Amino acid sequence: MFNTSPEIMLPSRRRFLRDAGLGFGSLALASMLHRDAHADIAAADPLALRPPHYPGKVKSIIWLFMTGAPSQVDTWDYKPELQKRDGEELAGADPKTGFFTTSGKCLKSPFEWAQHGESGSWVSDLFPHLSKQVDKMCFLHSMYLRQNNHAPASIELMCGTNRPGLPALGAWMTYGLGSQNQNLPSYVVLHDTRPRGDDQIWSAGFLPKTYQALALDARRKESVDNLVRDGKHSDAQQRAQLDLIKLLNEDHAANRPTQADLAARINSYELAYRMQMAAPEALDLTKESEVTHKLYGMDQPECATFSRQCLLARRLVERGVRFVQVFAGKGVGGDGSVNDVPWDCHTDVQINHRSCGLHTDQPAAALLADLEARGLLDSTLVIWGGEFGRTSDSQGAKGRDHNPNGFTIWMAGAGVKGGLHYGSTDPFGYKAVEKKVHVNDLHATLLHLMGLEHTRLTHRFNGRDFRLTDVGGEVLQEILV
């Protein structure tokens, strides 16, 4: 029989507090158990393939890092007003925006501009090859960050903030998802000259060192140091030696459970052993056809190094490497000297950027075309951009200084809308003004595309939970397919 009395039986205050406390305690316990379960799996096998938080659209990322910072107003962000007002005062210009001092007077782009593709995207004549790929590209014109010099800005771009000792994006992704190929590292860096900030840009930080990138130097033809077994030992002897080392290390680690690096070192020995067969094959470009070599421009001296690295990047993601970062190599300064920060155009933007365009344009375009032809662009995201932008006013007569207040990055491939232009800078390209995108937003979006919720990807270190996006980050839903 139903109780039709209007009287409502409320619980006592003591019972309410007890029940509420148990409820919140259960939630907290579930959260801790989830975190501890992740930690236990990672400790047992740091590179084991782990399920994402939800199905992701991206399996691998290739980041073409334009070291030295291209000028947005000379590459992808066409500004007719800047062209018209060359030499005039730039309203709101701050001579200390960059690392040196600027004139406060507008400097027009010395390059020719035209619209390309069905999207009608404006591109300077630096990119005759990439301009044919614009309908694949999703442009973020409103990027900004806080640091105005190369090393700290590069660290902020890859680690979410410029504080030293934090893990980079590729390390976080490997920590969250594991490796798709147990015989190769999940995170690989390809570089020529070491960029400013070098190891800090691809550091595993406080994460176990298993998640540290394997950095390959183009000057040594991207060979892996100390990988080949010496001729004095057979495979069986090496296996026995590794088994003994593993046994000793595990015995040593058993009495030191808080030292995560010991487990990482054990796993690094095993990965190196497995890599002895897999890595040389993955890095062997003689397996590619002459047609492919020419597509990437390997027969052209001005872009041979970058073309080799882009082709290697394709081979690596083809074999399951999750995150590959290619750092653009040497450029030419305004005085004709070789510049180890290639896109750094303090003296003469025309000479510098023309050289860098020749170095990077054809290989980057070939990478997009090759990935698409092989069906890999449906699962791979390619990113192009530098650590900040350049000033719209001049440094000296023909150069541009650093500018963290507004720059362009583009992405192409899995999960993003091609031919889209998101956000904008002011009419002179000086500052991001519409739909501003901080690096935390970019990282949140990239993690989302990989199937990771950025607020849930955490690691406890020194008594607090850290995450790549710190306390910020919004997923850029408008750019997603």
Q: For residue 53, what are its two tokens?
A: 């938080």
Q: Please, what CATH class does the domain formed by 45-223+283-479 belong to?
A: alpha beta
Using left for φ > 0, alpha for ψ between -120 and 50, and beta otherwise, residue 240 falls in alpha
Instruction: Give the residue with greater pLDDT, 299 vs 254.
Output: 299
Q: What pLDDT does 178 receive?
A: 95
Tokens standing for residue 442: 């970019």
- Take residue 26 and report the two structure tokens written for it: 């259960």
pLDDT in tens, 145-180: 999 999 999 999 999 999 889 999 999 999 999 999
Please provide the DSSP assignment of 301-363 as one string.
GGGHHHHHHHHHHHHHHHTT-SEEEEE---EE-TTS-EESSTT--SSBHHHHHHHHHHHHHHH
Confidence (pLDDT) at 224: 67
Which of 438, 470, 383 minimizes the C-alpha distance to 60?
Answer: 383
pLDDT of 256 higher than 80:
no
d(Cα 434, Cα 444) in Å, to the nearest integer? 19
Q: Distance between CA atoms of 211 and 330, rounded to whole angstroms?
A: 28
Number of neighbouring beta carbons within 10 Å of residue 437: 22
Q: Which residue has the higher pLDDT, 412 or 208?
A: 412
Q: 264: which residues sit within 8 A by CB, 6+ positions away?
A: 46, 208, 209, 210
Rounded CA-CA distance 245/243 in Å is: 6
Write out pLDDT tens, residues 69-78.
999 999 999 9
Q: Output the six-digit token pair for 409.
A: 């990055």
Hey, which bits of 157-199 come out as E strands? 187-191
Given a cut of 60, whether residue 104 has pLDDT beyond it is yes
Which of helix, strand or coil describes residue 38? helix
The secondary structure of residue 393, as a DSSP letter, is B
CA distance 319 to 322: 9
Instruction: Tell me the pTM.
Output: 0.86
| Mean pLDDT, range 240-268, rounded to an integer | 69
| Helix orientation angle between 260-282 and 235-254, rounded to the nearest 10 degrees | 160
On whether the CB atoms of residues 417 and 428 are closer than 8 A, the answer is no
Structure tokens at 260: 């995560």
Q: Which residue has the higher pLDDT, 237 or 395?
A: 395
Distances (CA, A) of 125 to 112, 117, 333, 354: 5, 14, 19, 9
Q: Are 107 and 89 in contact (CB under 8 A)?
A: no
- Model pLDDT, residue 341: 85
What pLDDT is recorded for position 3?
46
Q: At what angle do helices 304-318 and 260-282 cross, to 10 degrees?
A: 110
pLDDT band, residue 1 (cuts 50/70/90):
very low
Contact by Cβ (8 Å): 345, 352: yes
Strand partners, 144: 438
**b/e per residue 320-342 (b: at least 16 CB within 10 A):** bbbbbbbbbbbbbbbeeeebbbb
Measured from the Cβ of residue 194, the count of other Cβ atoms closer than 10 Å reads 16
Q: What is the pLDDT of residues 12-60, one digit of tens each?
A: 766 666 665 555 555 444 445 455 445 555 556 788 999 999 999 999 9
Q: Where are the beta strands (DSSP E) in 163-213?
A: 187-191
More confident residue, 425 or 277: 425
Q: Is residue 133 within 8 Å of residue 365, measured between CB atoms?
A: yes
Tell me the mean pLDDT in the region 3-7. Answer: 48
Note the pLDDT tens digit of each residue in 281-335.
889 999 999 999 999 999 999 999 999 999 999 999 999 999 999 999 776 665 6
Q: 77-112: b or e for each residue (b if 16 or more CB lie within 10 Å)?
A: bbbeebeebeeeebeebbeebbeeebbbebbbbebe
